[in-house]
């Protein structure tokens, strides 16, 4: 039970944070639970695709190996499935009625994914892994979801620019996720020097996107 609490506590905290930022028209609880559930379910096809793409790691050495692992195996696969889940769940839903809803639903899908992934890691590797991931991987998934939801929300309400915005809803999370994983996977001291500044940048970037759409909902 303690390990389960450690795994899910950071997820719950970030879900609460984004929920209270949606001040003007709360999303129905059943839709939010569906978003969490669908995000959790995509873990399993993601694992299958990641295993397939990991086969090609043997063709790369050094930083190219790290790049393939970070940007293709992890970032591209995970963010693509999250966006697909988000689209299938809410694109035609009457509850997707404001731009900020894009961020809310993207975060809930991403946190559903992060919850299952975190449970797997914590139960496999224990308490210390749970503590580390509470401040790294789980907030990472939260921060990757914000630009996805931001551009997804804009795409819904600006049909003339929809194609570009939908591409941005995938490209920006992949870039953030890829750089984040690349720094950690590189195990190189010089790259670690930029990790904290990069995380600070992601938080500032994410909070700016939240403020912009929250203000637009007023």
Cα–Cα distance, 162 to 164 (Å, whole number) = 6
Alpha-carbon dihedral sign for residues 75, 115, 11, 35: positive
Judge contact between 163 and 101, C-beta under 8 A: no
Q: What's the whole-number average pLDDT of the chain?
A: 93
pLDDT, tens digit, 9 for 90 and up, residues 38-78: 999 999 999 999 999 999 999 999 999 999 999 999 999 99
Judge contact between 69 and 57, C-beta under 8 A: yes
**35 pLDDT more than 80:** yes
pLDDT, tens digit, 9 for 90 and up, residues 167-198: 999 999 999 999 999 999 988 777 788 999 99
At residue 217 the predicted structure's pLDDT band, cuts being 50, 70 and 90, is low
Q: How crowded is the C-beta side of 89, counted as CA atoms within 13 Å? A: 28
The percent of residues in the chain predicted with pLDDT above 90, rounded, is 77
List of residues 6+ apart from 56 with CB closer than 8 A? 68
**116 pLDDT more than 90:** yes
Q: Which two tokens stand for residue 44?
A: 């399993």
**131 pLDDT more than 90:** no
The position carrying tokens 């990991």 is 54
Judge contact between 82 and 42, C-beta under 8 A: yes
Cα–Cα distance, 49 to 28 (Å, whole number) = 32
At residue 218 the predicted structure's pLDDT band, cuts being 50, 70 and 90, is low
**215 pLDDT more than 80:** no
Report the pLDDT value the prediction gives residue 84, as an integer from 0 to 100. 98
Report the pLDDT value the prediction gives residue 136, as an integer from 0 to 100. 87
Cα–Cα distance, 111 to 46 (Å, whole number) = 15
Cα–Cα distance, 49 to 193 (Å, whole number) = 32
pLDDT, tens digit, 9 for 90 and up, residues 90-112: 999 999 999 999 999 999 999 99
Q: Which pTM value belongs to this model? A: 0.94
Nearest-10 Cα torsion for 82, 85, 88, 93: -90
């Amino acid at each position: 039970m303690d390990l389960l609490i450690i795994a899910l506590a950071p997820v719950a905290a970030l879900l609460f944070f984004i929920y209270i930022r949606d001040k003007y028209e709360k999303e129905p609880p059943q839709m939010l639970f569906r978003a969490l559930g669908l995000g959790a379910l995509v873990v399993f096809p993601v694992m299958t695709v990641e295993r397939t793409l990991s086969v090609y790691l043997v063709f790369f050495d050094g930083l190219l190996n790290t790049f393939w692992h970070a940007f293709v195996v992890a970032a591209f696969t995970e963010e693509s499935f999250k966006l697909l889940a988000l689209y299938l769940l809410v694109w035609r839903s009457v509850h997707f009625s404001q731009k900020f809803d894009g961020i809310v639903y993207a975060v809930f899908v991403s946190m559903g994914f992060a919850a299952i992934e975190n449970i797997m890691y914590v139960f496999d590797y224990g308490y210390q892994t749970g503590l580390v991931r509470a401040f790294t991987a789980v907030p990472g998934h939260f921060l990757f979801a914000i630009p996805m939801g931001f551009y997804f929300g804009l795409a819904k309400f600006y049909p003339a620019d929809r194609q570009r915005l939908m591409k941005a809803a995938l490209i920006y999370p992949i870039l953030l996720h890829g750089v984040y994983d690349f720094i950690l996977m590189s195990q190189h001291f010089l790259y670690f020097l930029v990790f904290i500044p990069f995380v600070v940048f992601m938080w500032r970037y994410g909070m700016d996107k939240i403020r912009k759409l929250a203000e637009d909902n007023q």
